[in-house]
Structure 1
Amino acid sequence: MSPKPAGFWIRFLALFIDSILSAVLTLIIAVLIGDSTYFSSSALGETSLADSIGGLIYSLVFIVIFTASNLMGSPGKLACRIKVVNEDMTQISLLKSFGRWLAYILSTITLLIGYMMAGWNREKKALHDIVCGTRVVYRD
């Protein structure tokens, strides 16, 4: 029996948790580097150096590397007890994890419909899962 596919809402919760953790990391970086743009109310809509560094670090370390490791998922996915695997339920490679992260662009530019697809199909696959040949399933 194969593990139960993770649907839209649990994946949304994992992304929400990742977003909060990324914001906390960015705040810490802003404080450490003294990024005044980050704390300026007149800079609304502008991207600060801390935003760029924090987002990049979170994406590469906690999404790409964690997903390709034995953890098989970002901190948000770990908290929600779900994991990313290949079609045959094996661990994905670092290259595939990076490609999956890049494929998020496709899920985003389709007015987020690529993400919503996880709620509409039997296998609970988002567009980036289909493109990369991955699945998100519940952990044992």
Structure 2
Amino acid sequence: MRFRDIKKNTKHQKQQQKRPHIRYARYPDKIKALITDLFMIYAPILYIIAYIVMGSKEAFQSSQWAPFFGVATYGLIYAVLLAKFGQTPGKKAYKIKVVDDKTYENIGFLRALCRFIAFLFSATILLGLVTPFYRKDKKALHDIICATVEIEVD
């Protein structure tokens, strides 16, 4: 056997050992997880801000800062949950976990917060939400920006 062939086989074996078999999360499950999170986390935040903090629906609607604080609070809770567990309640219900795309380990708080901000941007321009249809790893724009991936867990 030639040295070149031995080297090629060694390199190929190392690549196979590094990458465990990963199942990428399905897009419909990601959408359902997002909707679940909106109802379980974001809706109560808005309710608390509108009726407990501001006192009425009209006060909430007339305020420019109340929706911002609602989204900011949701973003902080989302980032803490991703950093600590890798999952939000919706992602846990659909067995999805957000991990680093190279090491497959949990991401940190700042990266999770950056991912949330990037999600807001990609959802605003809608381009980021259609990128999973054109990629094998089903990454959305915010996953590409933050080097994360959503995988299925058992």
**Shorter-chain-normalised TM-score: which range?**
0.7 to 0.9
Q: CA deviation at 1:57?
A: 1.5
| SS of equivalent residue, structure 2 residue 22 | coil
Deviations 1:14-67 (A, max 9, x none): 11112212112311332222432xx23xx4xx5565533332222111x11111
User: 2:75 touches 2:113 (CA, 8 Å); kept in 1?
Assistant: no
From the superposition, tell whether residues 47 and 80 of structure 1 become closer, same or farther in structure 2 (CA, over 3 Å).
farther
Tell me which residue corresponds to 1:5.
24
1:8-19 aligned within 5 A: 8-19=27-38
Q: CA deviation at 1:102?
A: 1.8
Deviations 1:62-100 (A, max 9, x none): x1111111x102222122210100012011111211111
Tell me which residue corresponds to 2:83.
68
User: Following TM superposition, where does structure 1 have runs of at least 4 consecutive aligned residues deviating by more than 6 angstroms?
Assistant: none
| SS of equivalent residue, structure 2 residue 21 | coil
User: 1:96 touches 1:132 (CA, 8 Å); kept in 2?
Assistant: yes
Please give the TM-score of this superposition, normalised by the length of structure 2.
Answer: 0.74
CA RMSD of aligned residues (A): 2.1
Tell me which residue corresponds to 2:137.
123
| SS of equivalent residue, structure 1 residue 3 | coil
- Partners in 2 of 1:106 and 1:52 — Cα distance? 15
The number of residue pairs the alignment matches comes to 132
Normalized per residue, the structure richer in helix is 2
1:48-67 aligned within 5 A: 50-61=66-77, 63-67=78-82
Consecutive unaligned residues of structure 2, counting only runs of 5 or more, are: 1-19
| SS of equivalent residue, structure 2 residue 97 | strand
Tell me which residue corresponds to 1:113.
127
| SS of equivalent residue, structure 2 residue 30 | helix
